[in-house]
Amino acid sequence: MNKIQSLLVIFAFVSLSSFGQSKKWTLEECVNYALQNNISIKQSTFDSELTDITRKDAIGRFLPSANANASHSWNIGLNQNITTGLLENQTTQFTSAGLNVGVDIYKGMQNQNQLRKANLSKIAAQYQLTKMQEDVSLNVVNAYLQILFNKENLKVQKEQLVLDTKQMERTTELVEAGVVAKGDLLDVKATLATDNQRLINAENTLLLSKLSLGQLLQLADFKDFDIADEDIVVKDSPVLLEEPNAILKKAKETRTELKLAQTNLQLAEKDIQIAKGAYQPTLQGFYGFNTRASNSDRILFNSSGQVIGISGPNALFNQFSDNKGQNFGAQLTIPIFNGFATRNNVSRSKVALEKSKLALNQQELDLERTVYTAFTDTKGAQKTHESATATLEARQNAMEYAKERYEVGLMNIFDYNQTQTMFVNAQSEVLRTKYDYIFRTKILEFYFGIPIINNK
């Protein structure tokens, strides 16, 4: 019975493993998984959380600071007796406690500007996170389309191997019938060996592309990773009907990297305001409370101020009540000279502002160049795919005609193999240009504000 149970457990485990391995990932699943598990995205998420903490720090500067203190000390050894005035060996104890509260009333608007800067930093961190998510999504789409291309290319190589295998059988019959020379059969066998080599290369390329996407998704076990077999149809995007200027205008309104550069410029402006705030006076309010108690003997006085006797220490809580004191007020600090520190901070912030302006200008130039390049590349990929499709049709007709001529002995095997090779290359070129056109179209649509995975 135990053996049967063991076999059932093993069978269930194998079945579950096979089920897990049979999962076929769609493009949307790949993108969503990457957005949740990519290491770079997680790091950007932590950066966003840090800005939340910085914002809490800025809010805390508006609140009062309160600190309590307490101390208890023992004085052992030679001390002055408060009664006789003589030095004696004795032990005394002293306890003190206090509370101090301070609040910034005015600090050159530095606290207000720190809060505004913290809010901007939160926005910048969110833009940075969005930018990272967009980059990862594009990388996933590119890797996903590469797998689809390699899958279709593998199918082409398998079909070609089947055709060449049938051709070898046909050539064998023709050689036996004396229609073609025996050397043609050797050439067909060599072609078949080349087909096997291409098939192995296609299989290896497909495997590597799967591993690449699996690692990009941060999968723990990416060796059995596979995607769904999708037939993505090539269709002309409506974005191609737009002018490049219209696409650029739309990109300037939606692109995250431009918004990030604009926010960084605002952050640099806030830094200047914060640095200039150190030129202004600061006003702080304060309040303090303190009390104390000791175990020393007390000297008793009469109403005339004469010493009438000595008594032990008063009760502890009575001492705390009798000895309590308070102080409060305001402190004005006027900066006069601090070794050029404030001036240097302002100058440093101004330099950072100029660098942020240049970075924004450069980002606008980069976006303009990227959009025009993407538009030109997409148009070129479209025409290249159309040309490759027309070439494939012509190569297919040429191969069928060459096959007819070869079978009746009007074409030698070398010329026939050349025609067949050009047909296979044409098939591969159509697949390459197809997925290149699809990916470039997605990039162009992306700059036009169309989501990456919602427009298959």
Dump pLDDT digits (tens) for 172-209: 887 777 777 778 788 888 888 988 998 999 999 999 99
Q: What is the pLDDT of residue 412?
A: 80
Whether pLDDT at 18 is above 60: no
Span 360-370, pLDDT tens digits? 999 999 999 99
Dig out the tokens for 147 from the structure.
């797998």
CB 330 within 8 A of CB 105: yes
pLDDT (mean) for 414-433: 88
pLDDT (mean) for 4-33: 58
CB 240 within 8 A of CB 442: no
pLDDT (mean) for 148-159: 89
Span 386-417, pLDDT tens digits? 999 999 999 999 988 988 887 777 888 778 88
Measured between alpha carbons, how far is 114 from 71 in angstroms, rounded to an integer? 36
Q: What is the pLDDT of residue 78?
A: 75
Span 326-378, pLDDT tens digits? 999 999 999 998 889 999 999 999 999 999 999 999 999 999 999 999 999 99
Measured between alpha carbons, how far is 194 from 171 in angstroms, rounded to an integer? 17
Whether pLDDT at 309 is above 60: no
String of b and e for 153-179 (b: at least 16 CB within 10 Å)?
bbebbeebbebbeebbeebbebbeeee
Q: What is the pLDDT of residue 17?
A: 39
Q: What is the pLDDT of residue 433?
A: 93
Measured between alpha carbons, how far is 181 from 191 in angstroms, rounded to an integer? 16
Whether pLDDT at 454 is above 90: no
Please state the pTM of the whole predicted model: 0.78
Whether pLDDT at 456 is above 50: no
Q: What is the pLDDT of residue 126?
A: 94
pLDDT (mean) for 215-227: 82
Q: What is the pLDDT of residue 80?
A: 64
Q: What is the pLDDT of residue 230?
A: 79
Q: What is the pLDDT of residue 329?
A: 93
Whether pLDDT at 300 is above 60: no
Q: What is the pLDDT of residue 3?
A: 42
What share of the chain has pLDDT > 90, as a percent? 52
Locate tokens 């910048």: which residue? 124
Classify strands 282-294 and 298-301 as parallel, antiparallel or unpaired.
unpaired
Measured between alpha carbons, how far is 157 from 428 in angstroms, rounded to an integer? 9
Residue 298: pLDDT band by 50, 70, 90 thresholds? Answer: low
What share of the chain has pLDDT > 70, as a percent? 87
Measured between alpha carbons, how far is 258 from 447 in angstroms, rounded to an integer? 12
Span 223-242, pLDDT tens digits? 778 888 877 888 888 998 89
pLDDT (mean) for 156-178: 82
Residue 9: pLDDT band by 50, 70, 90 thresholds? Answer: very low
Q: What is the pLDDT of residue 14?
A: 38
Whether pLDDT at 320 is above 60: yes
Span 62-115, pLDDT tens digits? 999 999 999 988 877 777 655 455 666 777 778 899 999 999 999 989 999 999
Among the residue ranges 35-39, 273-277, 318-322, the one predicted with the least confidence is 318-322
Span 247-286, pLDDT tens digits? 999 999 999 999 999 999 999 999 999 999 999 999 999 9
Q: What is the pLDDT of residue 190?
A: 86
Whether pLDDT at 425 is above 80: yes
Measured between alpha carbons, how far is 140 from 217 in angstroms, rounded to an integer? 8
